[in-house]
Amino acid sequence: MNSYIENLNWRYATKKFDTNKKVSHQDLELLKDVIQLSASSYGLQPYKVLLIEDKETRKKLQVAAWGQSQITESSHLFVFANNTNFNDSHIDTYIQNVSKTRNLNIEDLKGYADFMKSKISPLTSQAKENWTAKQSYIALGNLLSAAAFLKIDACPMEGFEADAINKILDLEKAGFKTTFLVTIGYRSKDDQTQHYPKVRTPKTELFTTI
């Protein structure tokens, strides 16, 4: 556990990446495993993750991300997009996956499916969007921790024009909307941010025991 805390102290929101260093295929697959295995409400994972490798696409995204250099200088770019049209059919697809994976009769899962539908379907469109976006942030936390464990730098980003990125990636037609971006790679020695002391709320103020 001490090493885990050390890794969290080591990581920071990297502002400048070393363009000569790339995350290996093996480590990239490990990070994808971490995202895939992340917890989510009911296990539904109501989001999509795009891995942007195409250089021209990343240049376009950089413009939509206020010109931030991480978009093009990092080794890899993840775009997390939450489902904006979540409905009963998505639950049905999930139940089919549960049935197949666990070798269960789908009829035996009807009660669980109906329960999920009774809780999610009545939500307003905005409430559903908020809910799907929140689920993707759980995966973000796991991604950042796993990257730190692998000594891979990362920068979660919410500074961008969502509508522009949605258009570039043609997300809205697919029923998704950009939630946040994550750049990964290896810090540049010129990134002064790595030397800043980590600033966090003191435990005495952050935690309340009842």
The CATH code of the domain that includes 70 is: 3.40.109.10
For residues 82 and 46, the answer to whether their CB atoms sit within 8 Å is yes
pLDDT of amino acid 2? 83
Whole-prediction pTM value? 0.95
The count of structural domains within the chain is: 1
Beta bridge partners of 154: 13, 184
Could you tell me where the beta strands, DSSP code E, fall in the chain?
Answer: 47-52, 76-83, 153-157, 176-185
Coil, strand or helix at 106: helix
Distance CA 139, CA 136 (A): 5
71: which residues sit within 8 A by CB, 6+ positions away? 58, 61, 62, 65, 77, 181, 183
pLDDT one-digit tens code per residue, 3-32: 999 999 999 999 999 999 999 999 999 999
Amino acid identity at 207? F
Range of the domain at 89: 2-206
Q: Burial-class residue 2 by CB neighbours within 10 Å (0-12, 13-18, 19+).
A: exposed
Residue 27: Cβ within 10 Å count: 18
Distance CA 141, CA 183 (A): 14
pLDDT band at 1 (very low <50, low <70, confident <90, very high): confident
